[in-house]
Structure 1
Amino acid sequence: MKSWIAATLLALGTVPVPAAAQTVPVPSVPPAPPERPACREVGDLPFLAIDAGSAARLGAIGLDRAAIFAQMRETSIPETMGCWAMPVGNFDSQLVSVGMAQWNFGTGSLQPLLKAWKQAQRGGFRRARKALMPVHGKTIFSHACLAVPVKPRCREKILAAHGPDGKLDPVLWGEFNALFESDAMLQVQLDTYLVLLEAVRQDLLRVFPDGPITLRKVRWAVDTKVQQGGFPLDEDLARLRRKLAAMPEADRWDRLGAIFAWYGALSRSIDQDGVQRDWAWNLDRWGCLLDGRRIDPEQYEMLHLTFLRSRTAIGNSGRWQALTFERRAKIILGVGSVSGKADGECLR
């Protein structure tokens, strides 16, 4: 590994002595992605409709129909490995997370989708519910579970449908999978995602008031919105940009190297999850880009903005901060591995 990473990690006290242990092992090939069960994959389907007004507004930032579904697919990769459903249980204290953007009960993001699907069924709701969720449907669509936050009796029933390993039992897993892979719920997921994209459009105009809205920025903003719900405050953006403007040119690359080292130190610590297969490969390739000065001004600023937001990821007391940075750094640089899926390369 290039000396700037090893030296910075050593300075941070994260690399043990003796000298033979002062380097981080660098995989020469990307990590193998995990196997996943067969699923209905995220992608464009003829019956899925996009409102004409929404299409026009999103088209103004370069998102036509093909780009919208490409963005949905990209969002789903780290969330559900590209599936429309992929339900998971309470491993992250969100009770149940499901859908291509992993909407969940814990944050209250899942309940609106359930309500929208129920409303779309009109008079056929009970019949559709029984067909897709014959065992747990009454519970999932009860007032207790549709409330935000969910009521204690809902939480108790759902937790009772978890196995000893903390995962959803096969019945509830199968019913959530059936519901979220159904045609009507695919439309609900698309509609919900379109609302998110339109909100992102407004956010981009605030976060980047002076620059063009590039596709890289759109992709970055969508991932930030999905995972963290929002962006830094104006005063934080202004403070960071003042510091970047005043920074001596001689400090430019060391400052960015320190952010990468922060990511590496977090990834090696005991309470960071989701990055174990990826971080060493990422550090090596990003270090290669840094050493070759192959990071343009837009990328440079966006990496600092990502650092600003990632260090405020507070879920499970910061358990996902390294993953949060990793996801967005891959988008910014076009090189990176997330959830075992590596893209791009840096040739020395």
Structure 2
Amino acid sequence: MGMLGLALAVMIQAVPQVAPVPLPAPGCRRVREEAFLRVDPEAAARLAEIGLDRAAIFERMAETAIPETMGCWAMPVGNFDSQLVSVGMSQWNYGTGSLQPVLAAWKKRLGGRFGRTRKMLAPVYGKLLFSKACLKVPVKDKCREGILAAHGADGKLNPVILAELTAIFESDAMLQVQTDAYVALLMDVRADLLRVFAGQPITMRKVRWAIDTKIQQGFFPADEDLARLRGKLAAMPEAERWDRLRAIFAWYEALSRTIDQDGVARDYAWNVAQWRCMIDRGMIDPEQYEMLHLTFIRSRTAVGNSGRWQALTFSRRGKIVLGIGSVSGKRDGDCLGTG
């Protein structure tokens, strides 16, 4: 499978994960540029056209990893979100079928060294993880039963499989596989940006927003939806402009307070206060205004766990768009001067 195909298979249905604290975990191998990691020259040239040189690619990769894995290359988690196992800087998982291509790519990359390396890094669970049952999409019952049996009474992965998955995903070969998949993702994002924002400058704000949208939800509003939204925005009386945006923030606040929204309890009240302050102080520019509406129409259709993460998707992208916000308890910026 080509790397563009791999990215589609890996990313298209990614489910958002909730990191306990948005800081790199002690002792983990952190996501950052490493000299040995290769970026395809053709992809590099095309990404440079939207402001992503090699350094920027790894900056975006590290930024993506913060809410996904606390900044780590591995950070395996178990079945808390019904994805069976999630692991890697973008939390590839069995549930959506995104983990299987990554494992297959690692196996292919190692070639004749695969068996030896697998036994060294994952002597107990390696055979299961790379079994035909576990590389199928969706996984077979035999795989599901084996993975669930590797969970402890607390519902978390047991220390052995946790260590083995970490060893695999922190290995040099897997770092390259993850880098390849992320670069392929960025190539898809580039195409999406040129469609969604046709005729507009491609700013780094838009790039960061698009990456997060792609990772969490896999795709962007259709042309028909974009045209409808922009038509309404263009026809909207100026007197309604800020009330319409306040209504979106009110939707986000009310949604966050409902019983089945996770990952936002520490964030939403602070976010709403800060973002309303930004309206009051005239701190939201036209690009941000449109992007908040695009975020709204995409977040309200987040379907993972029957919509469990809709408020989280808005938190993450609202923070990117506005430059002020809180995600997983990590606050940046301050309109109110509250410290």
Tell whether the structures are fold-level matches, with TM greater than 0.5: yes
* 1:262 correspondence with 2:251: yes
Code of the residue aligned with 1:265 in structure 2: it is A
Query: How far does residue 36 in structure 1 lie from its aligned partner after superposition?
Result: 3.8
Between the aligned partners of 1:254 and 1:198, the Cα distance in structure 2 is 37
Give the 3-state SS of the residue equivalent to 1:150 in structure 2. Answer: coil
Between the aligned partners of 1:252 and 1:38, the Cα distance in structure 2 is 48
State the partner residue of 1:156: 145
Match of 2:170 among 166, 181, 186: 181
State the partner residue of 2:265: 276
* 1:196 correspondence with 2:185: yes
* 1:88 correspondence with 2:77: yes
Query: How far does residue 280 in structure 1 lie from its aligned partner after superposition?
Result: 1.4
Give the 3-state SS of the residue equivalent to 2:331 in structure 1. Answer: strand
* 1:237 correspondence with 2:226: yes
State the partner residue of 2:295: 306
- Residues 189-242 of structure 1, C-alpha deviations (whole Å, 9 max, x = no match): 000000000000001111111211111111000000001011111111111111
State the partner residue of 2:111: 122
- Note if contact 1:129-1:137 (Cα within 8 Å) is conserved in structure 2: yes
Give the 3-state SS of the residue equivalent to 2:326 in structure 1. Answer: strand
- Root mean square deviation, CA, Å: 1.4
Between the aligned partners of 1:32 and 1:108, the Cα distance in structure 2 is 26
Query: How far does residue 272 in structure 1 lie from its aligned partner after superposition?
Result: 0.6
Segments of 5+ residues of structure 2 without an aligned counterpart are 1-19
1:125-140 pair list within 5 angstroms:
125-140=114-129
Q: Which one has a bigger Cα radius of gyration? A: 1
Query: How far does residue 155 in structure 1 lie from its aligned partner after superposition?
Result: 0.8
State the partner residue of 1:16: none
Match of 2:315 among 311, 326, 332: 326
* 1:71 correspondence with 2:60: yes
1:329-340 pair list within 5 angstroms:
329-340=318-329
Between the aligned partners of 1:34 and 1:218, the Cα distance in structure 2 is 22
Query: How far does residue 35 in structure 1 lie from its aligned partner after superposition?
Result: 8.5
Q: Percent identity?
A: 72
- Note if contact 1:34-1:340 (Cα within 8 Å) is conserved in structure 2: no
Segments of 5+ residues of structure 1 without an aligned counterpart are 1-30
Q: TM-score, normalised by structure 1?
A: 0.89
Between the aligned partners of 1:244 and 1:189, the Cα distance in structure 2 is 39
Query: How far does residue 166 in structure 1 lie from its aligned partner after superposition?
Result: 1.6
Between the aligned partners of 1:340 and 1:172, the Cα distance in structure 2 is 29
Go from structure 1 to structure 2 and tell me whether the alpha carbon gap of 1:85 and 1:78 turns closer, same or farther (over 3 Å shift).
same
Go from structure 1 to structure 2 and tell me whether the alpha carbon gap of 1:33 and 1:62 turns closer, same or farther (over 3 Å shift).
closer
State the partner residue of 1:248: 237
State the partner residue of 1:59: 48
- Note if contact 2:21-2:70 (Cα within 8 Å) is conserved in structure 1: no
Go from structure 1 to structure 2 and tell me whether the alpha carbon gap of 1:265 and 1:34 turns closer, same or farther (over 3 Å shift).
farther
Give the 3-state SS of the residue equivalent to 1:139 in structure 2. Answer: helix
Q: TM-score, normalised by structure 2?
A: 0.91
Task: List 4+ stretches of structure 1 deviating above 6 A.
Answer: none
State the partner residue of 1:8: none
Between the aligned partners of 2:134 and 2:21, the Cα distance in structure 1 is 37
State the partner residue of 2:199: 210
Between the aligned partners of 1:37 and 1:238, the Cα distance in structure 2 is 47
What number of residue pairs does the alignment pair up? 318
Between the aligned partners of 2:207 and 2:148, the Cα distance in structure 1 is 37
